[in-house]
Amino acid sequence: MKKIIPAILTNDVEDLKTKLSQLAGLVDWVQIDIMDNVFVPNKSINVAELKNISHDFNLEAHLMVEHPEKYFHDCLEAGFKRVIFHVECCPDLNFIFKEAAGYDFEIGMALNPETPIEHVLPYLDKVKIILFLSVHPGFQGQEFITEVLTKIQKLKQQHPEILLAIDGGLKLENIQLAASSGADYLCVGSGVFKKGEVIKNLKDLQAAAADL
């Protein structure tokens, strides 16, 4: 069964707390988007601000930042179970993996829509999950880029053992299409929280993703 992971993009701690409370008891994983206004033209809450927030979720950090290794300590202290950084973040990815080796969380890699899958192939033995962005990173509410689905299908065929996720522009109208591509996880932001109808939105998304 495909898993829906709500994604929260905000620069307001109170908004984050509200969204987490809306998700309580509905999901086990939540993705938090972290942006530095350098790698992407937007800035989110700081990882350190999450340390004192009470919750019962498995948290996944999507680091849309340069120098992700500088965030690893705070991610650990904030209780993140998985940390995903971008293949495009720096020229020396082996250094990033070396820095990550000392931390007790799963590691994943993300690809921007235009990045070929060949960029992650040398590192598949080092990661738990590959996250495909189906919008350009930095802002919610963008249009879904369907060409990304071909890349997911290709990588899934070549390496079925690797968990694959898709993130960006997902909504009820295209969630089934994304699920059928081979993605194991579907990260949904505004599609979960729209109109404040979180329970209904999640139920509808999960039903559509399961109806293959």
Both tokens of residue 7?
């994604």
Q: Is 141 left (phi over 0), alpha (psi -120 to 50) or beta?
A: left
User: Which DSSP letter does residue 144 get?
Assistant: P
Both tokens of residue 194?
């729209």
Contact 87, 116 (CB under 8 A): no
Q: Which of 92, 167, 204, 211 is catalytic?
A: 167
Both tokens of residue 98?
């070396």
Task: Give the three-state DSSP class for 198.
Answer: helix
Q: Which of 12, 15, 28, 33 is catalytic?
A: 33
Catalytic residue flag (residue 33): yes
As annotated, the active-site residues are 33, 167
